[in-house]
Amino acid sequence: MGNGTKKVLILGSTGSIGENTLDIIRQFPERFKVTGLVAGKNSEKLKKQMEKFNPEAVALFEGELETPVGVDFYSGEEGIKSLIQDIDFDIVVAAISGASGIIPTFESAKKAERVALANKESLVCAGKFIKAVAKELVPVDSEHSAIFQALLSGKKEEIKEIILTASGGPFRGKKLEELKDVKPEDALSHPNWDMGNKVTIDSATLMNKGLEVIEAVWLFDVPVEKIKVVVHPQSIVHSMVRFCDNSFIAQMGKPDMRIPIAYALSYPERLPLPDNLGMEFYEMSLTFEKPDLKTFKCLRLAFEALDRGYPYPIILNAADEVAVNSFLKGKIPFTAIPEVIEKTMDILNLSSPETIEEVVSIDKLARETAEKVVQSFLA
């Protein structure tokens, strides 16, 4: 991308990634201008964002909003598609949580000079379609941002392995039998990161890392055999690459999403961020552990979905969203989350999607199937 002020569309502006993105934009008004904001249903927060950043257009997935003169308002999935078509933007920050972000990410990727990607489900479910239309993909997830940066140190053919780090979540070191009575508030208490409910539960089950493995396959075009996961409870080494000479190149820093967001917006430059986002090297204490695939079965299921081939990652993701939502509503125990996913994957035998619309159809069918599996737990 050339120099000058970049126009930014934020998909998922009221979530944690969206708010952190706006914080970066606020610090660099000469570099970035918000042209569009898309939110789920948090109209009050969206109103405050409009007042501060004066976008051309805003949208809600659900609900209505009174907008001042000069601001266009759109509603629902079709409305969001129209917003994407109607406004100009250089960068789209794709931060809608879950599968509902797939179509908006795909549609905006057709127009944007750069997709700053935080919605991992887009690549998990529709990687080949989004990569086919995106001019440039720069990851926002701290782990993939770390890998993206580490890969600048070598050639693709020199990669020995990509190592994704996982915090281990709130239940690191626990055994399966210790997790039977876990309450939602326990699982939502993440030791290092402040994230939305779905991502936080996925971190507690290690499904978040499983989805990141699938995303890494698409982002970096590497076989799954070259991707490893290691538990690193301090979340300071965000991920690393081991090259053929056995050198490890790691990206390290404070666990704060504003750092990878800023890099995704400004790449290949780096923005001067405030000192409170830094840390002294002598403050760091680094440990690494093997993940426990018996207790945290979701991570194993993600590798299994890749082994089975497409569309199993779509089924895995859809079933996980249903299972997590059911756990948060008290319908199933925490330990049933991987069981719902595995049963849904075993029930469905579908062929690989040929269009983005077929991705959405498979996602819908997998959700319906997972809901039936949840009902069998309640029976």
pLDDT single digits (tens) 180-204 = 999 999 899 877 766 778 889 999 9
Please check whether residue 248 lies inside any domain of the structure: no
Residue 2 pLDDT > 70 = no
Please check whether residue 215 lies inside any domain of the structure: no
The predicted pLDDT at position 67 comes to 81
Please check whether residue 161 lies inside any domain of the structure: no
d(CA 93, CA 212): 18
Please check whether residue 157 lies inside any domain of the structure: no
3-state SS track over 216-240: HHHHHCCCHHHEEEEECCCCCEEEE
The band of 375, judged by pLDDT with boundaries at 50, 70 and 90, is: very high
57-60 sheet: strands from edge to edge: 72-75, 57-60, 32-39, 6-11, 91-94, 114-117, 137-139
Contacts of 83-88 spanning 24+ positions with Cβ under 8 A? 83/36, 83/38, 83/57, 83/58, 83/59, 84/9, 84/36, 84/108, 84/111, 85/111, 86/57, 87/9, 87/35, 87/36, 87/56, 87/57, 88/7, 88/35
Q: Is 159 left (phi over 0), alpha (psi -120 to 50) or beta?
A: beta
In the annotated binding site for 1-deoxy-D-xylulose 5-phosphate, the residues are: 120, 142-143, 167, 190, 203, 208-209, 212
Q: What is the pLDDT of residues 7-26, one digit of tens each?
A: 999 999 999 999 999 999 99
Please check whether residue 277 lies inside any domain of the structure: no
In the annotated binding site for Mn(2+), the residues are: 141, 143, 212
Q: Where are the beta strands (DSSP E) in the chain?
A: 6-11, 32-39, 57-60, 72-75, 91-94, 114-117, 137-139, 159-166, 227-231, 237-243, 248-252
The predicted pLDDT at position 98 comes to 84
Residue 92 pLDDT > 90 = yes
Please check whether residue 21 lies inside any domain of the structure: yes
Query: What percent of the chain has a predicted confidence (pLDDT) above 70?
Result: 99
Please check whether residue 80 lies inside any domain of the structure: yes
DSSP per residue over 286-334, as a string?
---B---TTT-HHHHHHHHHHHH-TTHHHHHHHHHHHHHHHHHTTSS-G
Instruction: Say how many residues make up the chain.
Output: 379
The predicted pLDDT at position 97 comes to 85
pLDDT averaged over every residue in the chain: 94
State the residue range of the domain holding 47. Answer: 6-139
The band of 281, judged by pLDDT with boundaries at 50, 70 and 90, is: confident
Q: What is the pLDDT of residues 53-91, one digit of tens each?
A: 999 999 999 988 888 878 999 999 999 999 999 999 999
**CA angle (120, 124, 130) in 5-degree steps:** 85
Per-residue buried b or exposed e for 237-248, using 16+ beta carbons within 10 Å of the residue's own CB:
bbbbbbbeeeee
> How many structural domains comprise the chain?
1
Q: What is the pLDDT of residues 95-154, one digit of tens each?
A: 998 889 999 999 999 999 999 999 989 999 999 999 999 999 999 999 999 999 999 999
Given a contact cutoff of 8 angstroms between Cβ atoms, the answer to whether 134 and 115 are in contact is yes
The predicted pLDDT at position 379 comes to 67
Residue 289 pLDDT > 70 = yes
Q: What are phi and psi of 299, to 5 degrees?
A: -65, -40
Please check whether residue 180 lies inside any domain of the structure: no
In the annotated binding site for NADPH, the residues are: 14-17, 40-42, 119, 121, 196
CATH number of the domain encompassing residue 93: 3.40.50.720
In the annotated binding site, the residues are: 14-17, 40-42, 119-121, 141-143, 167, 190, 196, 203, 208-209, 212
Lowest mean pLDDT: which of 32-46, 188-202, 203-217?
Answer: 188-202
d(CA 218, CA 206): 19
pTM of the predicted structure, to 2 decimals: 0.93
Residue 1 pLDDT > 70 = no
